[in-house]
């Protein structure tokens, strides 16, 4: 039996479609299976691309002395960071180019990763140096329901500055907002979902739905912690046009198993793979560790689902460089104190231990 079937290219070339003429059924099935395995290989912890690491440095040799990270030129030890690196490779290889709102991107739609949080593990990427304190400060700002960018600036965090700029706010029809006011974004929806927004200086105590407080209440309850309804969403269609930027990471769900282990699953509609995704992995992993500590549970896993995963055209070359780097052992996080109120945790309550990484990679953030 002969088959004539067209498939979308997945091998990285850009000449439209590959047509399979006169393949017998068995060969066709092998082709399909191989392509399926390749597409889903990014959820595995080994690279699905040829690895040709740069010349080893003293840093990488020292890193290899760790028993969990033994590698050689002939053997690559599995590492969960390869899920992220595989995603970079696949986006570049599949070469689906789009002209988007804020520039040219290459993207895939639909991918997933899973990271262990056991024994204090925190998946802060190691193939580039991560500003994890900036990430954690932003998370604590979200938790407090804040919308004032000046609070972040006072903490030397500037990741929202472009989206808080006057020209960008005017482009969103929000020129009437006060300086630094970002509107009812992430943290506001977590703590005051759909409450009428009256500016970043208003008192919202008791207004809207406090989704995070309800999740904490359930996680502390001996039976309600097993609910399948432990969901927190930042996507509020009623207030999208009041936000400086519609949320990208839009919904997370928490789950407790019969060993009182806490996991978090995140769905993100849009992910800037070069800059945003590494922050999102770390941020929701920190959040899971924090909620486990606060509610007397044990951190287990962070499960990450992405809709549109994209790389901006000017990030391609820096990310190719990152693919040449070897992951190191993920660090551990310790939270030194148990606060009565989730709002009261500070950056000083967290210790990240044994974080080793390659050098930073500079990329421009898009508005």
Exposure string for 4-22, b = 16+ CB within 10 A, e = fewer: eeeeeebeeeeeeeeeeee
- Could you tell me the sign of the dihedral formed by the alpha carbons of 64, 65, 66, 69, in that order? positive
Which is the CATH superfamily of the domain at 44-353? Thymidylate synthase/dCMP hydroxymethylase domain (3.30.572.10)
Residue 366 near residue 272, CB atoms below 8 Å: yes
Please give the distance of CA 1 from its chain centroid, rounded to a whole number. 46
> Exposed, middle or buried, 267 (CB in 10 Å: 0-12/13-18/19+)?
middle
* Alpha carbon distance 101, 366 (integer Å): 10
Q: Would you say 165 and 157 are in contact if contact means Cβ atoms under 8 Å apart? A: no
Query: Tens-digit pLDDT profile for the chain (367 aa)?
Result: 333 333 333 343 333 344 444 456 666 666 665 565 555 544 578 888 888 665 444 444 444 444 444 444 445 788 999 999 999 999 999 999 999 888 899 999 999 999 999 999 999 999 999 999 999 999 999 999 999 999 999 999 999 999 999 999 999 999 999 999 999 999 999 999 999 999 999 999 999 999 999 999 999 999 999 999 999 999 999 999 999 999 999 999 999 999 999 999 999 999 999 999 999 999 999 999 999 999 999 999 999 999 999 999 999 999 999 999 999 999 999 999 999 999 999 999 999 999 999 999 999 888 6
Q: Among residues 135, 218, 248, 295, which one is catalytic?
A: 248
Active-site residue 248, yes or no?
yes
């Amino acid at each position: 039996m002969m088959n004539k079937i067209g498939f979308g290219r997945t091998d990285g070339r850009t000449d439209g479609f590959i047509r399979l003429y006169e393949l017998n059924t068995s060969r066709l099935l092998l082709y399909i299976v191989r392509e399926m395995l390749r597409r889903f290989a990014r959820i595995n912890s080994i690279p699905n691309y040829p690895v040709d690491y740069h010349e080893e440095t003293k840093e990488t040799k020292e890193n290899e002395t760790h028993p969990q990270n033994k590698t050689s030129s002939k053997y690559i030890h599995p590492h969960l960071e390869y899920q992220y690196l595989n995603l970079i490779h696949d986006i570049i290889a599949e070469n689906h180019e789009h002209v988007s709102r804020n520039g040219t991107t290459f993207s895939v739609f639909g991918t997933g990763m899973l990271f262990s949080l056991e024994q204090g593990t925190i998946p802060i990427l190691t193939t580039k140096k991560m500003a994890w304190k900036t990430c954690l400060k932003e998370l604590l700002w979200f938790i407090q329901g804040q919308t004032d960018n000046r609070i972040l600036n006072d903490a030397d965090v500037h990741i929202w500055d472009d989206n808080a700029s006057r020209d960008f706010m005017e482009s969103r029809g929000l020129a009437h907002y006060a300086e630094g006011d970002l509107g009812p974004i992430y943290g506001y929806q977590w703590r005051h979902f759909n409450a009428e927004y009256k500016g970043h200086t208003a008192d919202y105590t008791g207004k809207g739905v406090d989704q995070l407080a309800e999740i904490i209440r359930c996680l502390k309850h001996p039976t309600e912690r097993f609910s399948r309804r432990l969901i927190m969403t930042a996507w509020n269609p009623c207030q999208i046009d009041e936000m400086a930027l519609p949320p990208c990471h839009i919904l997370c769900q928490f789950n407790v198993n019969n060993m009182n282990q806490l996991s978090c699953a995140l769905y993100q509609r849009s992910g800037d793979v070069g800059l945003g995704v590494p922050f999102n992995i770390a941020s929701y992993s920190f959040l899971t560790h924090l909620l486990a500590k606060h509610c007397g549970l044990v951190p287990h896993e962070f499960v990450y689902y992405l809709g549109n995963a994209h790389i901006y055209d000017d990030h391609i070359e820096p990310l190719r460089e990152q693919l040449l780097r070897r992951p190191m052992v993920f660090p551990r996080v310790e939270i030194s104190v148990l606060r009565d109120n989730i709002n009261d945790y500070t950056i000083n309550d967290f210790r990240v231990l044994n974080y080793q990484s390659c050098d930073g990679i500079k990329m421009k953030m898009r508005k």
